[in-house]
């Protein structure tokens, strides 16, 4: 196993212990004051004002703060995690359930919208709270109460037309390897499931989450697993993340990335092209570049479609086709994601 070797060599070389991602996951900043202090910012420097009383509270692992430039209120990574007064602006067309997901929930904890694929909301927890999140108002309690995953597993067992299961959330990689292993074992027993996909932003904020145990789970001969990372900016592809992605790739996992196009964060051809480059170096291919879902509180991140198309065209001019993500949007009622530019 590539991971084991890597960890052992490093440990033998300098006695360094593999960091425990659980410890890193618990090492959080949850207060605006502390965040500003740590990043040498004054709260009055923040556009819209820092908001310490958001219903979707600030939550960011200290590990991620290492990637943020101190003293820069416009840092593209900071903008993704800092709760501000701008989230309180009510903007017409932006609401709590922009995708009408409640219509596609045959049993709690499972979304079925697209042919052959079902999405499992395996947990409500996330390692980080992203300010643009389209699930920020998601009624996780309703989805995860009671029988937990059993109802979803029973539904999947009946639905032999489903051949791909997508673990999502919340963030499935906030679960322990043991809990994840139990779920994968139950899913592996359903013979019609041929593909396993995991969507996660956790590795971007805590690269150590891609540990040996996870690599072993995903290397199962039962299926070829796909991990879809959610990175939005080239600086998020840290050397630590790239190293662990490459190791997972060597273990046979297919690695893709999906980003959200965000004003002030990555609405810039240079940033997007560098992101594709950095992903490729890490063995990850760009998959989707998403237009923002119209969720209340995130309107200030929106990029107009015309500008999004221009950015996509600029990427096409600069990069090989396989490093250009599809520009897409999720539309309620559509049979697939709507591709604005391919
Ligand atoms: C995005 C999404 C999928 C996966 O769509 P792909 O185009 O296959 O990546 C599946 N189910 C739901 C509910 C989704 O939102
Ligand atoms: S990790 Fe994903 S689900 Fe969780 S807050 Fe961020 S965008 Fe939302």
Residue 6 pLDDT: 46
Residue 142 pLDDT: 60
Residue 151 pLDDT > 80, yes or no?
A: yes
Q: Out of 87-101, 213-227, 247-261, 274-288, which region has the weakest mean confidence (pLDDT)?
A: 87-101
Ligand 2 binding pocket includes 303 (Cβ within 6 Å): no
Please report the atom of ligand 2 found closest to the CA of residue 199: 2
Ligand 1 binding pocket includes 114 (Cβ within 6 Å): yes
Q: Ligand 2: distance of its center to the CA of 221 in Å? A: 29
Q: Ligand 1: distance of its center to the CA of 118 in Å? A: 8
Residue 169 pLDDT: 85
Ligand 2 binding pocket includes 130 (Cβ within 6 Å): yes
Residue 141 pLDDT: 62
Mean pLDDT of 215-236: 96
| Packed helices 177-188 and 150-158: angle between N→C axes, nearest 10 degrees | 20
Helix (H) or strand (E) holding 306: helix 305-318
Ligand 1 binding pocket includes 99 (Cβ within 6 Å): no
Residue 98 pLDDT: 81
DSSP 224-238: -EEEEE---SGGGS-
- Encode pLDDT of 172-212 as tens digits: 999 999 999 999 999 999 999 999 999 999 999 999 999 99
CB 155, CB 106: distance < 8 Å: yes
CA pseudo-torsion sign 301, 199, 70, 55: positive
Residue 50 pLDDT: 87
Q: Ligand 1: distance of its center to the CA of 114 in Å? A: 6
Residue 100 pLDDT: 80
Residue 97 pLDDT: 82
Rounded to the nearest integer, the mean pLDDT of the chain is 91
- Encode pLDDT of 63-112 as tens digits: 999 999 999 999 999 999 999 999 999 999 998 888 788 889 999 999 99
Ligand 1 binding pocket includes 94 (Cβ within 6 Å): no
Ligand 1 binding pocket includes 235 (Cβ within 6 Å): no
Domain definitions of the chain by residue range: 23-88, 101-341
Ligand 1 binding pocket includes 164 (Cβ within 6 Å): no
- Encode pLDDT of 245-256 as tens digits: 999 999 999 999
Q: How confident is the model at residue 44 (pLDDT cuts 50, 70, 90)?
A: confident
Q: Ligand 1: distance of its center to the CA of 334 in Å? A: 11
Residue 143 pLDDT: 60
Q: Rounded to 5 degrees, what are φ and ψ at 259?
A: -120, 160
Distance of CA 177 to the CA centre of its chain: 18
User: Smallest Cα–Cα separation from 219: which of 173, 184, 187, 257?
Assistant: 184
Helix (H) or strand (E) holding 28: strand 28-29
Supply the residue whose CA is at minimum distance from atom 6 of ligand 2.
Answer: 130
Supply the residue whose CA is at minimum distance from atom 8 of ligand 1.
Answer: 117
Residue 137 pLDDT > 90, yes or no?
A: no
DSSP 235-270: GGS-HHHHHHHHHHHHTT-EEEEEEE--TTTT-SHH
Residue 13 pLDDT > 50, yes or no?
A: no
Ligand 2 binding pocket includes 126 (Cβ within 6 Å): yes
Predicted structure pTM score: 0.93
Please report the atom of ligand 1 found closest to the CA of residue 112: 13
User: Smallest Cα–Cα separation from 115: which of 64, 61, 164?
Assistant: 164
**Superfamily name and number for 101-341:** Aldolase class I (3.20.20.70)
Residue 135 pLDDT: 80
Rounded Cα–Cα distance for residues 250 and 45 (Å): 44
Percent of the chain with pLDDT over 70: 92
Rounded Cα–Cα distance for residues 327 and 342 (Å): 6
Ligand 2 binding pocket includes 212 (Cβ within 6 Å): no
Q: How confident is the model at residue 147 (pLDDT cuts 50, 70, 90)?
A: low
Ligand 1 binding pocket includes 111 (Cβ within 6 Å): yes
Q: Ligand 2: distance of its center to the CA of 136 in Å? A: 8
Q: Out of 133-142, 152-161, 193-202, 232-241, which region has the weakest mean confidence (pLDDT)?
A: 133-142
């Amino acid at each position: 196993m590539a991971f084991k070797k890597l960890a052992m060599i490093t440990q033998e070389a300098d006695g360094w212990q593999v960091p425990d991602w659980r410890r890193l996951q618990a090492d959080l900043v949850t207060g605006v004051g502390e965040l500003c202090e740590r990043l040498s910012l004054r709260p009055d420097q923040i556009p819209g004002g820092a908001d310490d009383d958001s219903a979707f509270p600030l939550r960011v692992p200290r590990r991620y703060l290492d990637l943020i430039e101190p003293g820069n209120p416009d840092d593209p990574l900071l903008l993704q995690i800092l709760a501000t007064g701008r989230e309180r602006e009510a903007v017409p067309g932006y609401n709590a359930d922009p995708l009408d997901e409640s219509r596609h929930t045959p049993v709690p904890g499972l979304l079925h919208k697209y042919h052959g694929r079902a999405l499992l909301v395996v947990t409500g927890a996330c390692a980080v709270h992203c300010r643009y999140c389209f699930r920020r108002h998601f009624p996780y309690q309703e989805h995860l109460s009671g029988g937990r995953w059993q109802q979803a597993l029973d539904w999947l067992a009946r639905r032999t037309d489903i051949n791909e299961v997508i673990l999502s959330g919340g963030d499935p990689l906030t679960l322990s390897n043991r809990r994840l292993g139990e779920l994968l074992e139950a899913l592996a027993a359903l013979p019609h499931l041929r593909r396993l996909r995991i969507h996660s932003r956790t590795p971007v904020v805590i690269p150590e989450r891609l540990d040996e145990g996870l690599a072993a789970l995903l290397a199962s001969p039962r299926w070829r697993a796909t991990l879809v990372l959610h990175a939005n900016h080239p600086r998020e592809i840290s050397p630590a993340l790239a190293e662990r992605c490459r190791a997972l790739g060597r273990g046979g996992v297919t690695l893709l990335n999906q980003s959200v196009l965000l004003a002030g964060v990555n609405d810039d051809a240079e940033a997007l092209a560098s992101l594709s480059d950095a992903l490729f170096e890490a063995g990850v291919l760009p998959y989707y570049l998403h237009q923002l879902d119209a969720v209340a509180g995130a309107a200030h991140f929106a990029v107009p479609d015309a500008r999004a198309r221009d950015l996509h065209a600029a990427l096409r001019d600069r990069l090989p086709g396989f490093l250009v993500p599809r520009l897409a949007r999720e539309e309620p009622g559509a049979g697939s994601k709507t591709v604005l530019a391919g």
